[in-house]
Amino acid sequence: MDEAQQLFQSGADKREKGLYEESIVDFLSALSINPNHLAANYQMIYSLTSLNRFNEALFYANKIVELEPSHSTKEQRAYVKGELGDLEGAAEDKKISWSIPKDDCWC
């Protein structure tokens, strides 16, 4: 397992325990090694939104859609946009996500 993956796993373990700030540190470290680590970007959204840090989460939501424009990533970005009050943007992402076959997101 490479270093980025180890940091990601450590962050995921912390996030599952509700240690959101600590998980963010690990995810950021993983992303400094591999900015395109899809799962680390995805999990950053979960940790940040758990702390109501939706403005920061939008950066990572945009990144996951850029990396993999799938049903799951569009749905995740729609959620963040909705929480930020961008109902039009959220509705557009939802509409697009419905046109993409559902995927089995492992993120």
1-7 contact pairs (CB < 8 A, 24+):
3/33, 4/30, 4/31, 4/33, 4/34, 4/37, 4/40, 5/30, 5/37, 7/33, 7/40
The domains of the chain are located at 3-98
The answer to whether the predicted template modeling score (pTM) of the entire model surpasses 0.85 is yes
Nearest-angstrom CA–CA distance, 37 and 67: 9
DSSP 3-state of 10: helix
DSSP 3-state of 31: helix
Q: What homologous superfamily is domain 3-98 in, according to CATH?
A: Tetratricopeptide repeat domain (1.25.40.10)
Mind listing the pLDDT tens digit of every residue in the chain (107 residues)? 699 999 999 999 999 999 999 999 999 999 999 999 999 999 999 999 999 999 999 999 999 999 998 888 999 999 999 999 999 999 999 888 877 767 655 55
